[in-house]
């Protein structure tokens, strides 16, 4: 059964990495994908623009709408949502994927970077959810999926990079609160987080370069897990903090080798933060 034919997914930060992978997975099922991201010119260190992503989405079988969106800018978010509705007629899925990361201790975190992480991660997620909700409330099986970690209140996840952890946990708090707030109206809010590090530009540039990449899984594992969550009944599946591998195991996947970036042993895979 094709769950996503003609459904519209609004994905922030979808020009590359996990956001793009999720868009491609939904496009394979005939979804309309709104690529809400700010990269319009190729970046020296990062692959992809909203336009290259749109071409990939179309090639995968979906319809693409590339929109220039900085989730820090309220008007840009609202304009993008209105444009998506004008073009595709509604919004069925929101994926809050846009995120900023800096893993620095307190004295090494400048406030400009602190503000960036909180504006994109927590505030951007709240704002985009708020802007999409009037349309999600009209959808048949509305889902919001935040790419954020389980709320694990252990000091070890805060001490090394408290500013980043607060900003990511803010996204997870949106899941906790909004899932309960909109449960009766049938809008699902869930979080999805990887069990292992994922091979993205952030890992390559910030977390140990090429050596770390060798011990990662591909973004496709997050895309397949997102697909599994978004396929569920929104009234039955809300308020969960999902881990990619666990979701896929529940769906019957037993061999995860195809998701490895290189042929390393499972024991050599880098575990992700917060788990």
Q: Which residues are part of the catalytic machinery?
A: 164
Q: Helices 220-230 and 17-27 meet at what angle, rounded to 10?
A: 50
Other Cβ atoms within 10 Å of 275 Cβ, number: 13
Assigned token pair, 85: 């509705």
> Do 178 and 96 touch, CB atoms closer than 8 A?
no
Q: Which helix (H) or strand (E) holds 144?
A: strand 143-146
- Give the closest residue to 192 by CA, choosing from 79, 77, 85, 275: 275
- Sign of torsion over alpha carbons 262, 100, 23, 146: positive
> In 3D, which of 177, 206, 174, 189 has the Cα closest to residue 273?
206
Q: Which two tokens stand for residue 242?
A: 């999902």
Find the helix or strand (DSSP H, E) in which 215 lies: none
* Unique residue bearing structure tokens 């005939």: 30
Tokens at residue 59, please? 């090639």
CA triple 87-48-275, angle to 5 deg: 95
> At a CB cut-off of 8 Å and minimum separation 6, what does 44 contact?
none
**Other beta carbons less than 10 A from residue 30's beta carbon:** 16
Which residues on adjacent β-strands are paired with residue 94? 10, 144
């Amino acid at each position: 059964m094709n769950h996503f034919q003609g459904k519209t997914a609004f994905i922030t930060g979808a020009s590359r990495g996990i956001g793009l992978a999720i868009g491609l997975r939904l496009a394979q099922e005939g979804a309309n994908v709104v690529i809400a991201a700010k990269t319009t010119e190729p970046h020296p260190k990062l692959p992809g623009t909203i336009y290259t992503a749109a071409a990939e989405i179309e090639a995968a079988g979906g319809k693409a709408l590339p929109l220039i969106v900085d989730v820090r800018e309220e008007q840009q978010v609202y304009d993008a949502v209105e444009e998506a509705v004008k073009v595709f007629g509604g919004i069925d899925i929101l994926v809050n994927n846009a995120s900023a990361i800096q893993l620095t201790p307190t004295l090494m975190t400048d406030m400009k970077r602190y503000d960036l992480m909180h504006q994109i991660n927590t505030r951007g997620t709240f704002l985009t959810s708020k802007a999409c909700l009037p349309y999600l409330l009209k959808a048949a099986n509305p889902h919001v999926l935040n790419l954020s970690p389980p709320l694990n209140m252990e000091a070890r996840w805060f001490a090394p990079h408290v500013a980043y952890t607060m900003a990511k946990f803010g996204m997870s708090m949106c899941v906790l609160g909004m899932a309960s707030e909109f449960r009766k109206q049938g809008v699902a809010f869930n979080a999805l987080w990887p069990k292992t590090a994922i091979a993205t530009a952030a890992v390559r540039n910030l977390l140990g370069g090429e050596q770390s990449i060798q011990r990662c899984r591909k973004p496709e594992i997050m895309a397949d897990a997102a697909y599994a969550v978004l396929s569920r009944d929104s009234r039955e599946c809300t308020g969960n903090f999902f881990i990619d591998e666990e979701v896929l195991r529940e769906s019957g996947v037993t061999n995860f080798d195809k998701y490895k970036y290189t042929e390393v042993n499972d024991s050599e895979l880098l575990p992700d933060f917060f788990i």
